[in-house]
Structure 1
Amino acid sequence: MAEERDAGVLGDVSSEILDQAAAIFGVLASPVRLRILRVLSRGESDVAHLAEQVGGALSTISQHLSALMRSGLVDARRDGRRRVYFIADSAVVEVVGAVVERVSGRADARSTEPGHVRGGAP
C-alpha cells in the first residue's frame, strides 16, 4: 500500500485549474518568452527595446508578447503612439525566478563535480 503524504497545494486542485496551469507552463516553455519576462522584470518596455534586448525581429517579439498577454502574464498600456509592456502577474515571474535559481544551482553543482568538462554534455 502506498504511503499517504500531505499533497499540499496540488492535493485539492480541480482538473480544470491544473489544465489552466499547464497552459501557462506551455506559454513559459519558450526561451524567447523567458527572455522577454527577464527584460520586463527590470521595468516597462516597448517592443523595439525588447527586440533589441532579446534579439529578434519586431514581428516575432510582438507575437510572443501576444501569447504572454493572452495568458495574463504581461499587459500593455499606451504611452503616446507606442505601447509599453509590463509584467501583469508578478507571482508567476517569481516562480520562473525560483526555477531559474534551481537550474542555476544544479549547473553550478555539476561544474564542480570531478571529471566535469565545462561546456560538455549534461
Structure 2
Amino acid sequence: MRTASQDDVCEIPCVHPEAVARVRAALPDTGGVEDATALLKVIADPTRFRILTALNVEELCVCDLAAVVGISESAVSHQLRLLRAHRLVTFRKEGRIAYYRLLDQHINGLIDSAVDHVRE
C-alpha cells in the first residue's frame, strides 16, 4: 500500500472552519450524491457511452444505433431501456420507427465535457 507523500498532506495540521462550512453547504445531500453516482455508473459503461455519444451527434433509430455502435439491435434496445429508466434518453415514434435522442442539454453537456476532457 502506498503511503502519502509530503505533497499529499498539510505540513501544519489546521482546519479553515469558514471554508469547510461553505463547502459543506454547497454539497448535495446524501440522496443527491447517491443519484449522481448512480447516473455516472450508468454512463461509465463503454457501450452505453458510445450510444450516448452517438445520440449527442443526432437523433437515431435502434437500427442506426446498432450500425453505429456495432452491436445487435436487441442489445441496443436493452441498453436504451436502461438509459430511459435513468432519464438519459427519450424517443419519439414516427410510424413504426422509434427515434432516440438525449433527454436534455444537461446530458449533452455531460457527454461533451467527458469527451473534451479526454481529448486534452
**TM-score, length basis structure 2:** 0.78
| Equivalence map 1:3-82=2 (5 Å) | 3=16, 4=19, 6-7=22-23, 11-82=26-97
Q: Are the counterparts in 1 of residues 52 and 111 from structure 2 also a CA contact under 8 Å?
A: no
1:72–1:89: 8 Å Cα contact kept in structure 2? no
Cα distance per residue 1:39-86 (max 9 Å; x no partner)? 111221110000001110111111111111111110011110111111
Other-structure match for 2:15: 2
* 1:104-119 pair list within 5 angstroms: 104-105=119-120
- The 2-side partners of 1:79 and 1:100 are apart by 31
Larger Rg: 2
Q: Percent sequence identity over matched residues?
A: 28
Checking the alignment, whether the CA contact within 8 Å between 2:62 and 2:73 is kept in structure 1 is yes
**Count of residues paired in the alignment:** 104
Structure 2 residue ranges without an equivalent (≥5): 1-13
1:88 is matched with which residue? 103
SS at match of 1:77: strand
RMSD, matched Cα: 1.8
